[in-house]
């Protein structure tokens, strides 16, 4: 059958599966218990020997440890590893069904290309050789930038991408706009340390002040965060959560600061004002921070008396919040992207970074600490550093963070006649806009690197070893980049992913530092007990993880605030002129699309209603009454960028005049574009899209 760009864009829910697999679309299978026992998309299991394999889940940067139950080496069930000291047996719903993904109905089988640029262009068969030759020819004749977009740039394949990019006249290796470690990157830039050498020391902190981060629903290694938060009393840990909506983290916090939507920057700047003008706790920065006086002068106008009414909390609450940080033995002030609403504005992230520095919690145990040195490369450019309309060839690495990225953000950087190459095992939102599709391996089919989560005070290293056979039609992006380099006559080291990872294991072995957790033996041993680098590698292939030792004591830094990006009060107010309803996208890490999860999980979404399905809008009953719209009715959501149909649900915990629109899997059988809300959001110059003026009316 013929599939067009429009089909992929609008039908990545159950409808497209029905198109592929008629006459048995899964929406007709009403009993999910029967369906899950007789699922026609799972590989048939033979009778045979029952065994276990250990690996790691690479669906998101958490890299949770996994035990696979197998029949004749074919996995039929995944569980977390209970005694793993990092993940503590945690495995999310997507991870539990990860072994289904190689048989996902949206799997791309073979190289593909589109017949044209228009949305009715047809997806047709191609070959790896044809696509690699075409991309090489385009790079050869291009005057624009050739960019590799890498959503997980802390992996060893960064070495390959950097080498390739540097060999080109206009090559760049860039990270995505939604990065969980963005705050660490900003703090690192202020103190001259790469972000991968910094980490949140959550295991030793006494206070977490959290600006909207989904600590419970997915941040860092969720198994570690959930264990730490469940042991707060024994750890003498307090959680203060700052967010306008009543999330799971807000409900479990010791204190929930229910500020007005979009006022996080104002609160952070007011907290800095109190620190600088009402306390003496920042004296340590004099002589250690370049342009400190400039910061002090700018924040003077953000006094509690002036800002409290806009923030929606009292002056006393603001001062009590600062006092909690000042009196805590150690504290971490966090902020990271929302899986649906994306990153905070750059000025908000810079203000939160300053809060950590001004409170003396950078370089301090229980705060943001410097990890011990491990040889690692870093990405060349951040997404916001790339000029608009500058990319001629874009190669998209298949790694995912579990966070949404509106295509409009990508499109702004592309030239009109650009060529886009998408690596992914599945048809997804990027596929609909690409020119060439090269299918990479599905989860558990090829070796993948597990990097250090942001919530770790020490470096970690593990690999997601394959537990299923790789498909013949798959090609790894590192192999394709090497082939493109060969076509361009570029001298290239062409190390495979496995060779890079073995080399990293060898370097770690030579450090003779840290411990190895071996799940097969359920043991934690010093690396000095490992006899060779090859022995370490074998243990890693069987699910082991290396955990570095902690950096002892405090680390002193000198800070440079010359590039700190902040707004004065008038600039802030001009940028936050919200006159209508506030559209706020919301999502859960790893659950923003049908293409990123097993169909069984998306079916549970629609049957159990544990989470809102895609394009559901939550609003306060008073707001709904004022609009004469009732719960479970269809409505039209409109912004200056377009309109979409939504399903209305009322929720008294939603702030008045706020519209929380879910980015999630679509109902199976749906013919609606599952993440259409991203297309009507305002995209700001710093690639943020958290709040958009909107109108809601009856259909």
d(CA 618, CA 183): 29
Count CA atoms closer than 13 A to 468's CA, side-chain side: 26
Per residue in 509-555, pLDDT (tens digit) is 999 999 999 999 999 999 999 999 999 999 999 999 999 999 888 88
Q: How many CB atoms are located within 10 Å of the residue 409 CB?
A: 20
Point out which residues pair with 249 in neighbouring strands: none
Which uninterrupted H or E stretch holds 354? helix 346-358
Q: How many CB atoms are located within 10 Å of the residue 231 CB?
A: 10
Interaxial angle between packed helices 533-541 and 497-511, expressed in degrees from 0 to 180 and rounded to the nearest 10: 120
d(CA 208, CA 659): 28
Residue 578: per-residue pLDDT = 62
Going by C-alpha positions, the residue among 306, 305, 307, 285 that lies closest to residue 296 is: 285
Residue 94: per-residue pLDDT = 84
Q: Which of 30-34, 73-77, 158-162, 488-492 has the lowest mean pLDDT?
A: 30-34
Contact 144, 390 (CB under 8 A): yes
Using DSSP bridges, classify how beta strands 207-211 and 332-335 pair: parallel, antiparallel or unpaired: parallel
Residue 570: per-residue pLDDT = 85
Mean of all residue pLDDT scores within the chain: 87
Mean pLDDT confidence for 204-212:
97
Say yes or no to pLDDT of 24 above 70.
Answer: no
Per residue in 231-249, pLDDT (tens digit) is 999 999 999 999 999 998 9
Residue 186: per-residue pLDDT = 94
Confidence of residue 594 (pLDDT cuts 50, 70, 90): low
d(CA 495, CA 483): 12
d(CA 68, CA 94): 14
Q: Which residue has the higher pLDDT, 589 or 627?
A: 627
Say yes or no to pLDDT of 673 above 80.
Answer: no
d(CA 417, CA 651): 46
Q: Which of 6-20, 144-158, 314-328, 410-424 has the lowest mean pLDDT?
A: 6-20
Say yes or no to pLDDT of 122 above 80.
Answer: yes
Q: How far is CA 244 from CA 109, 256, 339, 658, in A?
A: 44, 9, 16, 10
Say yes or no to pLDDT of 16 above 80.
Answer: no
Residue 208: per-residue pLDDT = 98
Instruction: Work out the percent of the chain whose per-residue pLDDT is above 90.
Output: 63
d(CA 243, CA 220): 19
Q: How many CB atoms are located within 10 Å of the residue 132 CB?
A: 24
Confidence of residue 675 (pLDDT cuts 50, 70, 90): low
Please report the DSSP string for 76-117 in residue order: EEEEE-TT-TTTTT---HHHHTGGGGGG-TTB--S-EEES-S
Residue 1: per-residue pLDDT = 60
Say yes or no to pLDDT of 620 above 80.
Answer: yes
Q: Can you give the C-alpha Rg of the chain in angstroms?
A: 25
Going by C-alpha positions, the residue among 488, 187, 553 that lies closest to residue 351 is: 187
For the chain, how many residues are written?
699
* Architecture, CATH, for domain 577-698: Beta Barrel (2.40)
Contact 358, 285 (CB under 8 A): yes
Task: Let me know how many helices (H) and strands (E) the chain has, helices first.
Answer: 22, 29
Q: Which of 89-98, 262-271, 469-478, 614-623 has the lowest mean pLDDT?
A: 89-98
Residue 664: per-residue pLDDT = 74
Per residue in 476-498, pLDDT (tens digit) is 999 999 999 999 999 887 788 99
- Collapsing DSSP to helix, strand or coil, 41 comes out as coil
Contact 108, 123 (CB under 8 A): no
Going by C-alpha positions, the residue among 279, 247, 420, 419 that lies closest to residue 355 is: 279
Domains in the chain: boundaries: 5-41, 50-103, 112-178+375-442+454-463+470-511+514-547, 202-335+355-366, 577-698
d(CA 195, CA 173): 16
Residue 117: per-residue pLDDT = 87
Confidence of residue 7 (pLDDT cuts 50, 70, 90): confident
Confidence of residue 271 (pLDDT cuts 50, 70, 90): very high
Residue 691: per-residue pLDDT = 93
Say yes or no to pLDDT of 612 above 80.
Answer: no
Per residue in 381-417, pLDDT (tens digit) is 888 889 999 999 999 999 988 888 999 999 999 999 9
End-to-end CA gap in the chain: 34
Per residue in 289-316, pLDDT (tens digit) is 778 888 999 999 999 999 999 999 999 9
Strand ranges (DSSP E) for 195-251?
A: 198-200, 207-211, 238-242
d(CA 595, CA 199): 31
- CATH code linked to domain 50-103: 2.20.25.90
CB contact set of 351 (below 8 Å; sequence gap of 6+)? 265, 268, 269, 272, 566
Q: How far is CA 565 from CA 101, 186, 263, 269, 301, in A?
A: 42, 10, 17, 12, 16
Say yes or no to pLDDT of 636 above 90.
Answer: yes
Q: Is 399 exposed, middle or buried (0-12, 13-18, 19+ CB in 10 A)?
A: buried
Confidence of residue 608 (pLDDT cuts 50, 70, 90): low
d(CA 437, CA 398): 11
- CATH code linked to domain 202-335+355-366: 3.40.228.10
Q: How many CB atoms are located within 10 Å of the residue 387 CB?
A: 9
Going by C-alpha positions, the residue among 678, 533, 667 that lies closest to residue 14 is: 667
- Collapsing DSSP to helix, strand or coil, 689 comes out as coil
* Architecture, CATH, for domain 112-178+375-442+454-463+470-511+514-547: 3-Layer(aba) Sandwich (3.40)
d(CA 473, CA 107): 11
Q: Is 660 exposed, middle or buried (0-12, 13-18, 19+ CB in 10 A)?
A: buried
Mean pLDDT confidence for 150-156:
90
> Virtual CA dihedral for 687, 161, 125, 42, nearest 10 degrees?
-80
Confidence of residue 614 (pLDDT cuts 50, 70, 90): confident
- Phi, psi angle pair for 216, to nearest 5°: -90, -40
Say yes or no to pLDDT of 260 above 90.
Answer: yes
Residue 21: per-residue pLDDT = 33
Interaxial angle between packed helices 304-311 and 264-278, expressed in degrees from 0 to 180 and rounded to the nearest 10: 160
Say yes or no to pLDDT of 67 above 60.
Answer: yes
d(CA 141, CA 276): 55
Going by C-alpha positions, the residue among 542, 446, 544 that lies closest to residue 51 is: 542
Please report the DSSP string for 621-637 in residue order: HHHHHHHT--TT-EEEE
Distance of CA 582 to the CA centre of its chain: 24
Q: What is the pTM of this model?
A: 0.91
Q: Which residue has the higher pLDDT, 6 or 148?
A: 148
Confidence of residue 447 (pLDDT cuts 50, 70, 90): very high
Contact 398, 423 (CB under 8 A): yes
Residue 348: per-residue pLDDT = 96
Mean pLDDT confidence for 252-263:
95
Say yes or no to pLDDT of 672 above 60.
Answer: no
């Amino acid at each position: 059958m013929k599939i067009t760009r429009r089909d992929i864009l609008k039908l990545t829910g159950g409808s497209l599966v029905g198109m592929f697999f008629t006459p048995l679309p899964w929406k007709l299978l009403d009993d999910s218990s029967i369906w899950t026992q007789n699922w026609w998309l799972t590989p048939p299991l033979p009778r045979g020997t029952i065994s276990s394999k250990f690996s790691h889940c690479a669906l998101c940067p958490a890299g949770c440890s996994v035990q696979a139950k197998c029949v004749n080496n074919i996995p039929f069930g995944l569980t977390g590893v209970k005694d793993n000291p990092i993940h503590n047996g945690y495995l999310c719903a997507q991870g539990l069904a990860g072994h289904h993904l190689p048989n996902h109905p949206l799997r791309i089988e073979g190289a593909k290309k589109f017949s044209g640029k228009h949305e009715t262009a047809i997806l047709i068969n191609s070959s790896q050789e044809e696509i690699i030759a075409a991309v090489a020819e385009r790079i050869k004749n291009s005057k624009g930038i050739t960019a590799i977009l890498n959503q997980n740039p802390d992996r060893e394949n960064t070495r390959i991408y950097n080498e390739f990019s540097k060999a080109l006249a206009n090559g760049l290796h860039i990270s995505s706009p939604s990065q969980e470690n963005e705050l660490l990157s900003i703090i690192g830039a202020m103190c001259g340390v790469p972000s991968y050498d910094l980490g949140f020391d959550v295991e030793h902190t006494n206070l977490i002040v959290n600006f909207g981060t989904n600590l419970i629903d997915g941040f860092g290694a969720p198994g570690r965060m959930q264990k730490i938060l469940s042991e707060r009393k024994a750890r003498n840990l307090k959680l203060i959560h700052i967010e306008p909506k009543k999330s799971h983290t807000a409900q479990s916090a010791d204190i929930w600061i229910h500020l007005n939507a979009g006022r996080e920057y104002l609160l952070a700047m007011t907290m800095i004002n109190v620190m600088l003008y009402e306390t003496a706790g920042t004296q340590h920065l004099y002589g250690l921070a370049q342009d400190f006086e400039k910061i002090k002068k700018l924040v003077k106008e953000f006094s509690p008396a002036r800002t409290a009414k806009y923030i929606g909390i009292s002056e006393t609450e603001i001062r009590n919040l600062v006092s909690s940080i000042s009196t805590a033995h150690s504290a971490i002030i966090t902020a990271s992207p929302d899986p649906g609403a994306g990153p905070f504005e750059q000025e908000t992230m810079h203000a939160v970074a300053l809060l950590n520095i001004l409170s003396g919690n950078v370089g301090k145990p229980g705060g943001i600490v410097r990890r011990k040195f491990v040889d690692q490369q870093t990405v060349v450019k951040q997404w916001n550093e790339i000029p608009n309309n500058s990319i001629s060839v874009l190669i998209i690495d298949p790694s995912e963070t579990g966070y949404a990225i509106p295509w409009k953000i990508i499109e702004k950087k592309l030239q009109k006649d650009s060529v886009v190459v998408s690596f992914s095992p599945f048809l997804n939102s990027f596929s609909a806009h690409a020119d060439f599709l090269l299918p990479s391996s599905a989860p558990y089919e090829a070796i993948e690197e597990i990097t250090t989560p942001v919530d770790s005070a020490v470096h970690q290293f593990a690999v997601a070893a394959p537990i299923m056979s790789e498909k013949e039609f798959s090609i790894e992006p590192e192999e394709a980049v090497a082939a493109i380099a060969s076509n361009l006559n570029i001298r290239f080291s062409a190390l495979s992913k496995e060779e890079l990872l073995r080399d990293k294991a060898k370097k770690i072995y030579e450090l003779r530092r840290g411990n190895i957790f071996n799940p097969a033996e359920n043991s934690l041993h010093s690396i000095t007990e490992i006899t060779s680098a090859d022995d370490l590698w074998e243990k890693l292939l069987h699910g082991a993880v290396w955990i570095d030792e902690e950096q002892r004591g405090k680390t002193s830094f000198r800070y440079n605030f010359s590039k700190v990006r902040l707004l004065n009060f008038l600039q802030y107010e001009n940028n936050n002129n919200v006159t209508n309803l506030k559209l706020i996208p919301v999502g859960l890490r790893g659950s923003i699309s049908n293409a990123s999860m097993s169909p069984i999980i998306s079916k549970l979404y629609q049957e159990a209603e544990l989470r809102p399905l895609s394009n559901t809008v939550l609003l306060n009953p008073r707001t709904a009454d004022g609009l004469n719209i009732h719960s479970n009715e269809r409505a039209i959501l409109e912004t200056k960028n377009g309109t979409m149909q939504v399903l209305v649900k009322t929720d008294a915990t939603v702030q008045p005049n706020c519209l929380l629109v879910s980015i999630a899997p679509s109902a199976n059988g749906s013919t609606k574009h599952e993440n259409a809300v991203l297309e009507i959001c305002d995209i700001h110059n710093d690639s943020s899209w958290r709040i958009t003026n909107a109108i809601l009316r009856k259909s």
